[in-house]
């Protein structure tokens, strides 16, 4: 099963970084499919309008439901199994490593990138009857649109797919990986050559060749870092 990701946006060029590096190679190797759709292709006026003033007043503009309905209908008409429509929004549930793991197990993700004051709420409400709808936040801050959030989520999900990482153990050693012991959620520091740089030495234990000591040291460093930075974890 190959994961298919459809992204709907008014700025398709925003997604070009996904053609680079690890994710670009994953696309070329057929490990996942990425399809980016321009929302403005589903407008029918000469200005290709996708937004309008909000009912009830207030600042900003709201994205109209008609182009979103056409775009999402077209994507869902492909008949991909178990589609998940993701709406990036500051008011969504937090995006976590556990949620990335969940999305990596799915076969079809559709990411609807809102702009301005967001997408007319009827769009998400309508599609709940047709697909699984998830409103997701990548953090407690506000962005200009959902594209940056889409980049974050896609990278977090795709690197978990089989064959994407050169070393399959890399994902299991990551911060927040499911197998990490309580209190060690954050991965500790890493070092490489040279052993001495600007008067700073690599910890002696990492040069010892004693794998039991190294494992114990890494667990303790992880525990200390987690306590310092994520005491609430």
DSSP letter string over 110-170?
EEE--BTT-B-HHHHHHHTTTSEEEEEESSSS--SBSHHHHHHHHHHHHTTSTTTSSSTHH
Closest C-alpha to 119, from 135, 103, 108: 135
Report the C-alpha gap between 6 and 35 in whole angstroms: 5
Report the C-alpha gap between 58 and 222 in whole angstroms: 47
**Half-sphere CA count of 223, side-chain side, radius 13 A:** 8
Closest C-alpha to 3, from 34, 36, 37: 34
Distances (CA, A) of 205 to 43, 146, 191: 62, 44, 12
Which residues does the annotation mark as catalytic?
90, 117, 159, 174
Torsional sign, CA 22, 24, 29, 32: positive
């Amino acid at each position: 099963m190959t994961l298919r990701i459809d992204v709907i946006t008014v700025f398709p060029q925003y997604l070009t970084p996904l053609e680079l590096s690890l994710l670009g190679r994953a696309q070329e190797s057929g490990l996942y499919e990425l399809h980016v759709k321009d929302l403005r292709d589903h407008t029918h006026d000469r200005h290709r309008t996708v937004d309008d003033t909000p009912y009830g007043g207030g600042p900003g503009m709201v994205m109209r439901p008609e182009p979103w309905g056409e775009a999402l209908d077209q994507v869902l008409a492909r008949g991909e199994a178990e589609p998940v429509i993701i709406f990036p929004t500051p008011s969504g549930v937090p995006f976590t490593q556990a949620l990335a793991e969940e999305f990596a197990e799915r076969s079809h993700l559709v990411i609807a990138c809102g702009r301005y004051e967001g997408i007319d709420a009827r769009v998400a409400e309508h599609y709940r009857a047709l697909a699984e709808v998830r409103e997701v936040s990548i953090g407690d801050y506000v962005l200009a649109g959902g594209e940056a959030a889409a980049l974050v989520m896609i990278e977090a999900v795709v690197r978990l797919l089989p064959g994407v990482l050169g070393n399959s153990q890399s994902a299991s050693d990551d911060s927040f990986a499911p197998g990490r012991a309580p209190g060690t959620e954050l991965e500790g520091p890493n070092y490489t050559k040279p052993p001495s740089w600007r008067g700073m030495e690599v910890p002696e234990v990492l040069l010892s060749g004693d794998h039991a000591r190294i494992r114990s040291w890494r667990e303790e460093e992880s525990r200390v870092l987690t306590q310092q930075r994520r005491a609430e974890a």
